């Protein structure tokens, strides 16, 4: 029987001196991808992602706000039943419950909102926006987030689709009485060093058959700059498939899964949230851009930082991550670690839709 691994399932700045230190460390050409304003981008390069940014760009073209554009684009991705990593149809936790995380940040007002472990609502990013605009808080979680959404009239729905239910049931079939949650991934010795077999020696549950499952988009980020130069961003996800009930990833954490600075730009993350949280990756990327790095270079810097952190403790662990970023001028970039190929992003400007291929940072 084929089995699905829980953790293996994702496919999924600083001072000028720091920028100089990191320059070239990734060993990549780090191209500067010139864009223009207005601009909207997403990590999602499938048909839904392309539709999302194309539709949302109409708001920007008409002089609308980046905040409205990123919400519109994200909602289109969230309600796609085929996408098993975001919103409706997202894969559930180990108890079969779909728990969604999302954050939004508005550069114009330096305001942010987020929800975590939100159940039964297809568009968590819209709830996050209400947290941002209608409260003095930044983050609501679990039952409180759901009650808040109910007060604003959000409809409660079953977020499982026949596709996500089937994947979950297949994962359940693969569970073993030898399963445990184990230590952090980066502390697991590979099978070659004598700790069992399969996915890092975790035992039966972790003998992955991820190849049989279509799950290559991961979380989503949508970032935009409008005609007035205002920048906004959203990150939205169903999080790590089969996570422990209540596990929260990077996506709802401002500075980790998303960061926006109106003077600089915006960045968002997909991939293994635990690493994005520890590295404060989106904040780091925006600070790198503030220090003069291009969006492309800043994303690579963040990937390199994560590799270096593990190397420093003697681990050659490389998590699956992808970062996307834009700056105030409309330049954009993306980079990743341990993905199936070079990371890509969908970009819409007045020149139309294009798919930008970023760089894979190698350890
Ligand atoms: N990046 C999404 C998560 O780890 O939950």
Would you call 95 helix, strand, or coil by DSSP? coil
pLDDT at 6: 53
The distance of Cα 110 from the centroid of its chain, to the nearest Å, equals 21
pLDDT at 28: 52
Please tell me the distance between residue 28's alpha carbon and the centre of ligand 1 in angstroms.
26
Question: Which parts of the chain sit beneath pLDDT 70?
Answer: 1-32, 178-180, 182, 188-217
Task: 180-186: list long-range contacts, CB under 8 Å, 24+ apart.
Answer: 181/244, 182/206, 184/274, 185/7, 185/272, 185/274, 185/317, 185/319, 186/310, 186/313, 186/315, 186/317, 186/319
For the question of whether the overall pTM of this predicted structure is more than 0.85, the answer is yes
Query: Per residue in 183-192, pLDDT tens?
Result: 777 776 654 4
Look up 219 and say whether it is catalytic: yes
Instruction: Give the Cα separation of 222 and 237 in Å (integer).
Output: 12
CA–CA distance from 361 to each of 81, 130, 176, 338, 345 (Å)?
Answer: 31, 37, 35, 8, 16
Please tell me the distance between residue 227's alpha carbon and the centre of ligand 1 in angstroms.
31
- Tell me, using a 6 A CB cutoff, whether residue 240 lines ligand 1: yes
Would you call 175 helix, strand, or coil by DSSP? coil
Rg (CA), the chain: 19
Catalytic residue among 84, 219, 220, 235: 219
- Tell me, using a 6 A CB cutoff, whether residue 251 lines ligand 1: yes
- Tell me, using a 6 A CB cutoff, whether residue 252 lines ligand 1: no
Q: Residue 108 CB: number of other CB atoms within 10 A?
A: 16
What angle do the packed helices 66-78 and 47-61 form, to 10 degrees?
160
Please tell me the distance between residue 351's alpha carbon and the centre of ligand 1 in angstroms.
32
**For atom 4 of ligand 1, which residue has the closest CA?**
273
Instruction: Give the Cα separation of 86 and 78 in Å (integer).
Output: 5
- Tell me, using a 6 A CB cutoff, whether residue 250 lines ligand 1: yes
Calculated CA dihedral for residues 54, 40, 31, 360, nearest 10 degrees: -80
Nearest partner of 115 among 162, 65, 78, judged by Cα:
78
Atom of ligand 1 nearest to the CA of 249: 5
Cα 305–338–352 angle (5° rounding)?
Answer: 90
pLDDT at 1: 39
Q: What is the DSSP letter of 275?
A: H
- Tell me, using a 6 A CB cutoff, whether residue 239 lines ligand 1: yes
Please tell me the distance between residue 205's alpha carbon and the centre of ligand 1 in angstroms.
20
CATH class of 27-163+212-360: alpha beta
Q: What is the DSSP letter of 212?
A: G
Q: Residue 21 in contact with residue 223, Cβ under 8 Å?
A: no
Sequence-ordered strand ranges (E) for 119-254: 139-141, 220-225, 231-237
Instruction: Give the Cα separation of 150 and 133 in Å (integer).
Output: 16
Give domain limits for the chain. 27-163+212-360
């Amino acid at each position: 029987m084929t089995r699905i691994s829980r953790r293996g399932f994702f496919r999924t700045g600083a001072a000028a001196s720091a920028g100089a230190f990191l320059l070239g460390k990734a060993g990549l050409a780090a191209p500067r991808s010139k864009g223009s304003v207005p601009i909207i981008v997403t990590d999602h390069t499938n048909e839904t992602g392309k539709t999302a940014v194309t539709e949302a760009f109409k708001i920007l073209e008409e002089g609308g706000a980046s905040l409205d554009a990123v919400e519109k684009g994200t909602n289109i991705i969230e309600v796609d039943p085929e996408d098993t990593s975001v919103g409706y149809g997202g894969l559930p936790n180990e108890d079969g419950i779909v728990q969604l995380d999302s954050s939004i940040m508005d550069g114009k007002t330096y305001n942010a909102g987020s929800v975590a472990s939100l159940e039964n609502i297809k568009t968590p990013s819209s709830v996050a926006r209400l947290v941002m605009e209608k409260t003095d808080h930044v983050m609501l979680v679990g039952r409180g987030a759901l009650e808040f959404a109910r007060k604003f009239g959000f409809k409660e729905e079953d977020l499982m689709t026949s596709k996500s239910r089937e994947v979950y049931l297949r994962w359940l079939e693969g569970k073993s009485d030898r399963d445990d949650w184990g230590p952090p991934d980066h502390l697991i010795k590979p099978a070659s060093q004598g700790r069992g077999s399969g996915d890092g020696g975790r035992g039966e549950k972790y003998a992955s058959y991820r190849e049989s499952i279509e799950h290559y988009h991961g979380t989503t980020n949508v970032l935009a700059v409008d005609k007035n130069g205002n920048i906004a961003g959203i990150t939205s996800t169903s999080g790590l498939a089969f996570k422990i009930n209540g596990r929260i990833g990077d996506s709802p954490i401002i500075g980790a899964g998303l960061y926006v600075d109106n003077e600089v730009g915006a960045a968002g993350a997909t991939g293994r949230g635990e690493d994005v949280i520890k590295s404060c990756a989106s904040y780091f990327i925006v600070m790198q851009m503030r220090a003069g790095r291009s969006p492309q270079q800043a994303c690579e810097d963040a990937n390199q930082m994560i590799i270096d952190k593990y190397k420093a403790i003697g681990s050659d662990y490389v998590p699956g991550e992808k970062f996307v970023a834009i700056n105030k001028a409309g330049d954009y970039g993306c980079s990743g670690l341990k993905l199936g190929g070079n990371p890509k992003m969908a970009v819409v400007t007045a020149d139309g839709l294009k798919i930008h291929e970023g760089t894979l940072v190698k350890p």
